[in-house]
Chains A and B, each alone.
Chain A
Amino acid sequence: MRIADKFAELDKKKERALIAYVCAGDPSTEATKDIVHALVKGGADIIELGLPFSDPVADGPTIQAAATRALAAGMNPDLYFEMAASIKENVPLVCMTYYNLIYKRGTEKFARDCASSGITGIIVPDLPAEESDELHDACKRNGVDLIFLITPVTTESRMKNTLARTSGFVYIVSRLGVTGERVDVADSTKKILERIHTDVPKAVGFGISNKEQAAEVIKAGADAVIVGSAFVSIIASGKDVNEKIEKLASELKESCKE
């Protein structure tokens, strides 16, 4: 499913989107499939499926540990696409990974593999717009959205170029730092949303872990909230994972409905 179609569908229902991140293969391929099912059942609208990299510089300790577990359990790009193809949920799947895995596979092949396995968006946290010509073209040819990040320190001129390149949604980092759970998101979110002018849906992530924060972000004007580390922490705990994931997803989703 394309990301734009999902946002259009939600628009009709006057809902905002819940985007959930999990790391593929943490702790196993089978477990990830069940977790994705639980997320969707709970109300997640878009699934970000992390493809683990050995050196994830933009991630905090929670997601780093997830990547380490997934790699140790044998996750690799071949298995990743196989797994993605076997997920039959009616939501867009987005691949989040680091650029070397894409470069090594070849940008064209990577984008093609995404398209043929049902992945309709790619997020690459170490690929700023300036370096993205090759992947951008490959994504365009294969009908895959390339999603860029905007941060509070992104300058006006770079913001313009980056927004012009992003499709699907724009990933807004509301505050400085790596991924992970934090407190107090309202002010920083409001401030950055005021600066961003685009027709592409605005999704806010980094540091959102509970329904109160999600509600604040939506109230501040976001079209979507992205939650990662909070789900990954549940997976790491290893106890009643699917139940807890579904419950958290449904709580967060409630905050996305007016």
Chain B
Amino acid sequence: MKKSMYGKFGGQFVPEVLMPALTELEEAYKRYKDDPEFLAELDYYMKDFAGRETPLYFAKNLSKKYGIKIYLKREDLVHGGAHKLNNTLGQALLAKYMGKERIIAETGAGQHGTATAMAAANMGFKSEVYMGAKDVVRQHMNVYRMELMGCKVHAVESGSKTLKDAINEALRDWVTNVENTHYLIGSVVGPHPYPMIVRDFQSVIGKEVKEQIMEKEGRYPDSIVACAGGGSNAMGIFHPFIEDKEVKLFPVEAGGKELKTTEKEALHSASLCVGEEGILQGAHTLILQDKYGQILESSSVSAGLDYSGVGPELAHLADIGRIIPCNVSDDEALEAFYELSLLEGIIPALESSHAVAYVMKMAKTGELGDLVVINLSGRGDKDLETVFKLKEEGETTKGKEDCL
């Protein structure tokens, strides 16, 4: 197996001009990942800037209602409101050690862009973020946040105007400015070594869970449930448990409106569940594509899960049966959004609501066991507008139906 592969997945399917940059990044990462000075500095940022460690919270009301013990890993409490900062701090620090001056990133919901802007502002980088024009509209508060921190936000008008197109545009920027620029990818996607680096920086989530659950319950959980678009929060919480075979791992994808595909688009973003093997944005992985290999536009109520591919290591873990891919619909995720807010006083991100929804749906079946950890990857403040708009639309539709 080549070093750049995760089983049969992964690889480095990128323009020639990026190959030296990937090698440089991999070598730098190898040099610094165990370097005491680097680790001490990262540790400082994680603790004093990001606010780690995050609590592992026993959701007593949710647990009572569903009859199993449910813990929430509170990544929503990380500075910025999501797990994304774990990775951006790590990579920005690496870029600093590598002597880069400029950082670029793509963003879907705007969470990764915001986390990039935070790390860049703090460490003194110039930063520019590419964001699909459609996402700029549905997540405009995050655009303001990025701009406040001195980050330049480019609205990407090509293709489906979402995350996939933002990544394309960031890659084009990197191809042009590769000598002084670090491309700070926000998920476990793209060419090697990115899936590995992002996974490692996010693994702090799973490492903390291991210690916290032992302290609280004296054993590992039966199941860990995390939402998966590209899959960074899922890999982050799963990775430290991969060898603990008794722990079931469930990545929950966005089932969207339904698990169907038209000629031009998928009505969902469930690449692990129903995608096919292909090459997208540097990696051999599972993707949503038509019969010719053209990439299909994906769809989800949550911008952060709205992606036509998935991290290659997740594709590999699904392939060997170590993780169990599943999905919930937009409606189920919305229901969970409301329920967690009501029952626990925690407003989850629409992304994380998918993980909560799966637990709500499956708790009674026994499939998850008695002790479950949900990765609550982000908070829902950014989604309020989306949710209220959907609520209004729902009420309008319902009103019409009542008249009929």
Q: Is the CB of A125 within 8 A of B15?
A: yes
Give 22 A-B contacts (CB < 8 Å), ordered by A residue. A54-B294, A55-B280, A57-B15, A71-B294, A76-B294, A100-B279, A100-B280, A101-B293, A101-B294, A104-B293, A126-B13, A126-B15, A130-B12, A130-B19, A131-B13, A149-B16, A149-B17, A151-B16, A151-B17, A153-B178, A173-B17, A176-B176
Distance of A54 Cα from B296 Cα, bound (Å): 8
A55, A98, A149, A155 pick with most chain B CB within 10 angstroms = A55
Residue interface bits A53-94, CB-to-B below 8 A is 1, else 0 = 111111010001000100100001110000000000000000
Distance of A56 Cα from B172 Cα, bound (Å): 10
Q: Is the CB of A150 within 8 A of B16?
A: yes
Q: Is the CB of A153 within 8 A of B20?
A: yes
Q: Is the CB of B20 within 8 A of A155?
A: yes
Of all chain A residues, the one with the shortest Cβ separation from B293 is A104
**Chain B positions within 8 Å of A77 at CB level:** 292-293
Distance of A154 Cα from B19 Cα, bound (Å): 8
Number of interface residues of A (CB under 8 A): 40
Q: Is the CB of A57 within 8 A of B292?
A: no
**Chain A positions within 8 Å of B168 at CB level:** 55-57
Q: Is the CB of B278 within 8 A of A177?
A: no
**Chain A positions within 8 Å of B21 at CB level:** 153
Q: Is the CB of B278 within 8 A of A57?
A: no
Q: Is the CB of A148 within 8 A of B16?
A: yes
Q: Is A127 an interface residue (CB 8 A)?
A: yes
Of all chain A residues, the one with the shortest Cβ separation from B20 is A153
The 5 closest A-B pairs by CB, nearest first: A104-B293, A177-B176, A151-B17, A54-B294, A149-B16
Which residues 185-212 of A sit at the B interface, judged by CB distance below 8 A? Answer: none
Q: Is A14 an interface residue (CB 8 A)?
A: no
A45 to chain B, nearest CB (A): 24
Q: Is B164 an interface residue (CB 8 A)?
A: yes
Q: Is B311 an interface residue (CB 8 A)?
A: no
Q: Is the CB of A127 within 8 A of B13?
A: yes
Distance of A84 Cα from B165 Cα, bound (Å): 30
Of all chain A residues, the one with the shortest Cβ separation from B15 is A58
Q: Is B11 an interface residue (CB 8 A)?
A: yes
Q: Is A160 an interface residue (CB 8 A)?
A: no
**Chain A positions within 8 Å of B341 at CB level:** none
**Chain B positions within 8 Å of A101 at CB level:** 292-294
Q: Is the CB of A55 within 8 A of B293?
A: no
Q: Is B158 an interface residue (CB 8 A)?
A: yes
**Chain A positions within 8 Å of B292 at CB level:** 76-78, 101, 104-105
Q: Is B371 an interface residue (CB 8 A)?
A: no
**Chain B positions within 8 Å of A105 at CB level:** 292-293
Q: Is A1 an interface residue (CB 8 A)?
A: no
Which of B159, B165, B279 makes the CB contact (< 8 A) with A126?
Answer: B279
Q: Is B387 an interface residue (CB 8 A)?
A: no
Of all chain B residues, the one with the shortest Cβ separation from A58 is B15
**Chain A positions within 8 Å of B149 at CB level:** none
Assuming the A-B contacts A130-B12, A153-B179, A176-B176, are A54 and B159 also in contact, with contact meaning beta carbons closer than 8 angstroms in the complex?
yes
Q: Is B175 an interface residue (CB 8 A)?
A: yes
Q: Is the CB of A64 within 8 A of B158?
A: yes
Of all chain A residues, the one with the shortest Cβ separation from B284 is A103
Residue interface bits B8-27, CB-to-A below 8 A is 1, else 0 = 00011111110111010000
Distance of A247 Cα from B291 Cα, bound (Å): 39
Distance of A81 Cα from B165 Cα, bound (Å): 28
Which of A64, A99, A103, A128 makes the CB contact (< 8 A) with B16?
Answer: A128
Distance of A112 Cα from B15 Cα, bound (Å): 24
A193 to chain B, nearest CB (A): 16
Q: Is the CB of B14 within 8 A of A126?
A: yes
